[in-house]
Structure 1
Amino acid sequence: MADGRIIISASPHVHSDRTSKRVMYDVLIALVPAFVISLYVFGLPALVLTSVAVISCIVFEAAIQKYLLKTEVTVSDGSALITGVLLAFNLPSSLPIWMIIVGSFVAIGIAKLSFGGLGNNIFNPALVGRVFLLVSFPAQMTYWPTPFENNMNMVDAVAGETTLGIIKEGLLYGETMTTLASQIPSVTDLLFGFTSGSAGEMSALALMLGGVYMLARKVITWHIPITILVTMGVMTGIFWLADPEQYANPMIHLLSGGAVLGAFYMATDLVTSPMTKKGMVIFAIGIAVITVVIRLFGAYPEGISFAILIMNAFVPLINSYFKPRRFGSKIKAKIV
């Protein structure tokens, strides 16, 4: 109420010192350990990849807002910066620069601003950019640089399969998990990041440290990331126990590919995830189930990007069934 008048404004109606900009920079800080590992493993190409993705996302957002939409330029809120970093983390470090720019345009121009900008987009922008590039340029998007065994700061000239790719291809051609064991990185390598894959998939440990930081800062809650990882672990564990020669053990599934990156940084996007805790759990279970089904039975060795985007589409439906308690609604008193 101001000057005797009641002012009604759009939600949210919760006052807090936490701003969108502060949240974005907390996420950026959480990504620093994984970025350092990617630089250690891939060197200059990882720096070029991330720089190009970040700069192009910022430029596209500013240009589209100023010259096409003619609205306020909001690049200072940090969302375009985070989109650029997450897009880079989902790409191979060998990807040509022009393809990185195309992916950035799709992420910002189509997945984000065409829906009205931050807070209005239905799908995670970085994942839309990544999937567009994967569908459009499958050869380049599945060319994974292999670090030299004796010099982790350099990138080999040849491409190597990811852990999930080795398993998928090997099983397809009649091999077993026992015969593939020598080709699969150890749990230590998966934790610390000395494997082939996307720039942001290198170190599960670095990604989890960033996830703990976000949990401590209350940027995210445990419901989505923990539910995804636990559900994936249970599902893959059941298949592994049923036939360990045809299915990888749960630790491989949890520590390789984009499981940790997707669970902590992509699925938890505040705009494209459910509002309530129950909704988050349903959302996370859906992501885990779809991911495991694609990994074990689909054409692609990895499926978490597709899983998150599919479940993004169900978020409005989830929110309609799992609504938070309305402010001012009656609460039944508990009789003691």
Structure 2
Amino acid sequence: MRPPERPDERTRQAMQWVLLATLPGIAVLLWLQGWAILINLLLAGGTALAAEALALGLRRRPVAPALMDGSALVSATLLAIALPPYCPWWLTVTASASALLFGKHLYGGLGKNPFNPAMLGYALVLVTFPGPMTHWSINHGMDLLGGLQSVFGIHLAGQPDAWATATALDALRINKSLTLDELFTSNPAFGHFGGKGSEWLNLAFLAGGAFLLRQKVFSWHAPLGMLGSLFVLSLLCWNGSGSDSHGSPLFHLLSGATMLGAFFIVTEPVSGARSPRARLLFGIGAGSLTYMIRTWGGYPDGVAFAVLLMNLAVPSLERLAARRVEEPTA
């Protein structure tokens, strides 16, 4: 008879499934951005493992078992995917180290963090270094040599100085005069239904999320809550193709970090809600805040801030869900 699976074994297996589920999205990013995603992954992953080892050493905890559980690599992978391609190396290093040190070990390590570490690292560099965080490269960007030169600040003759473009969400947010039809026709950031390239990217993360659901890594409550609330709000506020339109439901589902957030961020088991009802409420809140930040806030995509705000609300959500369960039926 097989011995019972230890908690660290279950954690390691879940982290392995999550890393495997990111591969379709990473493949699409590799196709769209060239070597950008691999450079970001190596920088973020190496920094996360080093920060994890440093923190564990300072806390006099065993280093090897913690490095093998995969949690640091998952946070680093999600962070690398979320960061702009070819952002400066120090930005990736800062974000990854902050995610592990301030988002995880500051609160006692694995299983004790009240905030999503990857989103905390992302939000920190977004607020601190807004300039580099808004430079998104054009699709099918540089080769490996050009990417390394850009990331490490080596400017050689023949290297382009300007290769950044606004995202579809950013272009829609600042639009004042063009109709949606005109934006989709004239702006290279727009694809058929959402952001150009991000349509395929969101579908890839949707496929990865469906795989995780099948493996029962998490339940359907938080993803459905986020996608459902984002769909309903964008439908209610959609004003057709007029210049004051905030985009269709399909546009919001297939742009930005929607599917990454729904299946890889709001489902984080430690900083998220525990009970099914609370998970559903958590997802609804994250989707609603994402839409509000995208539409009326100062940032084009609000997934990170939405998740961090909902992390603060988890205790209240758990109490609310428990109270509804305990109420006697008529």
Which digits, 9 at most, give the CA deviation of each residue in 1:32-82, with x for residues without a partner?
A: 11111111111222211111101110111011101x111122111000010
SS in 2 for 1:284: helix
SS in 1 for 2:238: helix
Aligned residue number for residue 61 of structure 2 = 71
Aligned residue number for residue 182 of structure 2 = 179
> Is contact 1:214–1:220 with CA below 8 Å preserved after alignment?
yes
SS in 2 for 1:187: coil
Aligned residue number for residue 26 of structure 1 = 17
Which digits, 9 at most, give the CA deviation of each residue in 1:165-208, with x for residues without a partner?
A: 1111223xx33323312125223775xx635xxxxx86111101
TM-score (norm 2): 0.85
Is 2:315 aligned against 1:316?
yes
Greater CA deviation, 263-272 or 157-166? Answer: 157-166
Say which of 117, 122, 131 aligns to 2:114.
Answer: 122
Name the CA distance, whole Å, in 2 between partners of 1:240 and 1:325: 33
Name the CA distance, whole Å, in 1 between partners of 2:179 and 2:324: 51
Aligned residue pairs total: 305
Q: Structure 2: which amino acid aligns with 1:290?
A: L
Deviation at 1:117, TM superposition (A): 0.7
> Is contact 1:287–1:311 with CA below 8 Å preserved after alignment?
yes
Is 2:132 aligned against 1:140?
yes
> Is contact 1:257–1:302 with CA below 8 Å preserved after alignment?
yes
- Of structures 1 and 2, the larger Rg is shown by 1
Say which of 220, 223, 227 aligns to 2:221.
Answer: 223
> Is contact 1:187–1:251 with CA below 8 Å preserved after alignment?
no
For the aligned residue pairs, the C-alpha RMSD in angstroms reads: 2.9
TM-score (norm 1): 0.83
Aligned residue number for residue 150 of structure 2 = none
Long gaps (5+) in structure 1:
1-13, 196-200
Which digits, 9 at most, give the CA deviation of each residue in 1:230-257, with x for residues without a partner?
A: 1111110111147744221111111100
Name the CA distance, whole Å, in 1 between partners of 2:59 and 2:6: 29
Name the CA distance, whole Å, in 1 between partners of 2:308 and 2:120: 8
Greater CA deviation, 69-78 or 181-190? Answer: 181-190
Which digits, 9 at most, give the CA deviation of each residue in 1:267-293, with x for residues without a partner?
A: 100101111111111111111111111
Aligned residue number for residue 105 of structure 1 = 97
Aligned residue number for residue 282 of structure 2 = 283
Deviation at 1:15, TM superposition (A): 8.0
Deviation at 1:258, TM superposition (A): 1.0
> How many percent of aligned residue pairs carry the same amino acid?
32
Name the CA distance, whole Å, in 2 between partners of 1:28 and 1:237: 33
Aligned residue number for residue 86 of structure 1 = 78
Q: Structure 2: which amino acid aligns with 1:304?
A: V
User: Residues 1-336 of structure 1 correspond to what in structure 2 (within 5 A)?
Assistant: 19-66=10-57, 68-73=58-63, 74-148=66-140, 157-171=162-176, 174-182=177-185, 183=187, 184-187=189-192, 190=195, 194=197, 203-241=201-239, 244-247=242-245, 248-323=247-322
> Is contact 2:125–2:133 with CA below 8 Å preserved after alignment?
yes
Long gaps (5+) in structure 2:
148-159
